[in-house]
Amino acid sequence: MSPTVHAVSEGQLIENLIHGERQSFTIIYQKYWYKLYLIAQRRLNDKAVSEELVQEIFVQLWEKRATLKIQSLDNYLVRAVKYAVIDHVRSQIIKDNYIIYYKTFLDQEESQTENLVALNDMTFFMEKGLKSLPEKSQEVFRLSRMENWPVNKIATHLQLSEKGVEYHITKSLKTLRIYLKDFVAILFIYFII
């Protein structure tokens, strides 16, 4: 660690960061990056994902520096990495469950080709429905349902209120139900035949 790191108080670092001073950001990065990486690595046991999560924390720190209320850098950054790890694990569980569900669905069907056609049809109708939405609603829906981001993270990322995010999700789901009705009707006819 350079002598500069010890020469500036934490309060001054936070103040300088809020005002966009890159040197303070660099000092914070150098001081905390490895600690945050170790926390993520111990919980995930995945070097690349741990590095990516920590990098994203620092990107968010810089981008949202003017609006953040930080009392203690150590507490703030440690909490941020813990929440990032939890979000990552949660999204992996959902992804793994979807894969298991999808594999089970394929195993139960007679023909994988027919299932892939059905999946492509569903994807087509879903994409068609999404494209009919305003761009912001599309983005909110993709982050919420496909990336499994929580409402508060989407709100922060897109600079919307949480109610605004919930509005976009509700609007998207209503629209998609209409488009997926066609798909369900086709699927129903397929299984009856």
So what's the pLDDT on residue 2?
A: 44
Reduce the secondary structure of the chain to three states and give it as a string.
CCHHHHHCCHHHHHHHHHCCCHHHHHHHHHHHHHHHHHHHHHHHCCHHHHHHHHHHHHHHHHHCCCCCCCCCHHHHHHHHHHHHHHHHHHHHHHHHHHHHHHHHHHHHCCCHHHHHHHHHHHHHHHHHHHHCCCHHHHHHHHHHHHCCCCHHHHHHHHCCCHHHHHHHHHHHHHHHHHHHHHHHHHHHHHHHC
Query: What pLDDT was estimated at residue 161?
Result: 92
Give the pLDDT confidence score for residue 140 in this predicted structure: 87
d(CA 5, CA 13): 9
1-108 and 111-193, same CATH topology: no
Secondary element (H or E) of residue 1: none
Domain residue spans in the chain?
1-108, 111-193
| pLDDT 10s digits, 103-128 | 665 566 555 566 666 667 667 767 77
The stretches in the chain having pLDDT less than 50 are 1-5, 193
CATH of 1-108, one of 1.10.1040.10, 1.25.40.10, 1.10.1740.10, 2.60.40.10: 1.10.1740.10
Between CA 161 and CA 182 the distance in angstroms is 33
The model's pTM is 0.49
pLDDT of residue 64: 92
Output the pLDDT for position 114: 63
Which CATH architecture is the domain 111-193 placed in?
Answer: Orthogonal Bundle (1.10)
